[in-house]
Amino acid sequence: MFFPFNLYQFFNDPKDYLLQLQIKHGDPFPLAFPGATTIWLTGKPELAKAIFTAPIDSFKASEKNPVGALLGPEGLIMQSGKDHLKSRKEFTPYFSKSNLSPMSESIIDAFNELINPLEVAGKLDLQKISLDLSLKIILKFLFPHLNSEELKRAELETQKFLASYSASLLFIPQWVPGTWNIFNKNKGDLDELFYNHFLVGTKEAIHNPLSALVDKSKDYVLDQMRTMIVAGHETSATSLCWSLHYIYKDQYLLNRLREELQECSINNILQNPFLEAVVNESMRIHPPVPFITRKIINRPFFLGDKKFQIDDEIGVCLSLLHRESLVWENAQAFIPERFLTKKYSPFEFAPFGGGARRCIGAEFSHLELKVLIAQFIKTFNGELKDINDPRSRVMQITIGPKSAVDLFYKKIN
């Protein structure tokens, strides 16, 4: 069977395109990439549960991950089986609450470094500032020993590397000169700088996941390092931008959060249920990663009564899961209170995926988002240039706002 994949429609409005596919084909439905595998996606909680709770040997990672070129085959996202399990075991302790708690201070430092130089009033591009903040923060997490000059260099080299990649490269064969050459050159420059200069010293920086890698091969170290940077950067930035969009578009929400977080210590900020609900509701409506995939191995797999064979690819469409009408009343509306009155299962609400591959950085990003939102509302009064919800677009690895999210701000003394 052939299902034409309309690239233009996908890139133009991915969330709507996925919804149209589900309406047209039912659930699960096929998402077919030209010249590549068809992925069968579901937006139904009971089928998401089947995928997230399947025995660990049911699946491997998809080799055709659209960001595979950025990550490398030995990074956590691309690993499978025993290798994946081993790496997960090594990294997990670094992402525990207690290990992460010193990060709050680095996050506030990053905020101050970028925000203090701003004028007392003006226009702030929330997408750009979110990307700048999250890059600084993930690099501070991975390389806590760098001084500010080194950190600046690390930021610039990473931005150059990321800017030379776009999803459209996937449709250009590697042998075509031009864009791939630029990407490979920038990747080489990044690897060289980080491996020969910045990774030295990570062993002493004990709170950092890269210190688990000191005796590993060069390719392994670099693939894991790029994986953490790529997975932890745009995802957090997109979530932050969407949350700020909802907060500044609604003065009631802004004031309520201000009241809730008044004179709150970091611990109270992290545990505040309303702030948590705002972050969750924003990720429900706009999960930065629109779908997760798995490749079937060892034995056929059923999604409902549909049987899939070995080597087929299946997955969960998070943006559809999060608007399933049987679970979410008034699913299009931003209603953080729903998270205060009901507990949703990990098969109904899954912005970080699920099962053995659930995002290892989920705790990290909650910490980052909450601390940054608290800083924003403490520092800025403001109004959005446009309060309408922007449509979505494919960014580098996430789905983000299609148009600029500009805040006309005034700093609070």
Q: Answer whether 249's CB lies under 8 Å from 385's CB.
A: no
Q: Does residue number 288 form part of the binding site for ligand HEM (CB under 6 A)?
A: yes
72/351 with CB nearer ligand HEM: 351
Tokens 């087929």 belong to residue:
312
Pattern 37-76, ligand HEM, x by CB under 6 A: ---------------------------------------x
Among 164, 186, 202, 236, binds ligand HEM (CB under 6 A): 236
**DSSP output for 206-264:** TTSGGGGGTTS-HHHHHHHHHHHHHHHHHHHHHHHHHHHHHHHH-HHHHHHHHHHHTT-
- CA–CA distance, 375 with 208 (Å, rounded to integer): 24
Among 14, 72, 336, 354, binds ligand HEM (CB under 6 A): 354
Among 29, 242, 352, 380, binds ligand HEM (CB under 6 A): 352
Shortest CA distance to 337 belongs to which of 256, 231, 392? 256
Among 208, 280, 282, 365, binds ligand HEM (CB under 6 A): 365
> Which range, of 125-133, 265-273, 298-306, 360-368, touches ligand HEM by CB under 6 A?
360-368
For residue 384, the minimal CB distance to ligand HEM (Å) is 21
Q: Does residue number 289 form part of the binding site for ligand HEM (CB under 6 A)?
A: yes
**DSSP output for 352-404:** T--GGGS-TTHHHHHHHHHHHHHHHHHHEEEEES--SPPPEEE-SSSEEESS-
Among 48, 103, 210, 228, binds ligand HEM (CB under 6 A): 228
Widest distance between CA atoms in the chain: 63
Among positions 159-198, residues that touch ligand HEM (CB under 6 A) are none
Q: Does residue number 371 form part of the binding site for ligand HEM (CB under 6 A)?
A: no
Q: Does residue number 88 form part of the binding site for ligand HEM (CB under 6 A)?
A: yes
> Which range, of 158-166, 241-249, 253-261, 357-365, touches ligand HEM by CB under 6 A?
357-365
Among positions 290-309, residues that touch ligand HEM (CB under 6 A) are 292
Q: Report in angstroms the alpha-carbon separations of 186 from 14, 135, 156, 176, 225.
A: 28, 17, 11, 17, 15
- Count of residues in the chain: 413
Pattern 120-159, ligand HEM, x by CB under 6 A: ------------------x---------------------
Q: Does residue number 353 form part of the binding site for ligand HEM (CB under 6 A)?
A: yes
> Which range, of 102-110, 119-127, 262-270, 347-355, touches ligand HEM by CB under 6 A?
347-355
Shortest CA distance to 400 belongs to which of 41, 11, 65? 11
Residues β-bridged to residue 39: 31, 313
The residues near 139 (Cβ < 8 Å, ≥ 6 apart) are: 146, 151, 154, 155, 158, 229
Q: Does residue number 235 form part of the binding site for ligand HEM (CB under 6 A)?
A: yes
- CA–CA distance, 123 with 172 (Å, rounded to integer): 38
Q: Please give the residue ranges that form the binding site for ligand HEM (CB under 6 A).
A: 76-77, 88, 138, 227-228, 231-232, 235-236, 239, 288-289, 292, 351-354, 357-361, 364-365
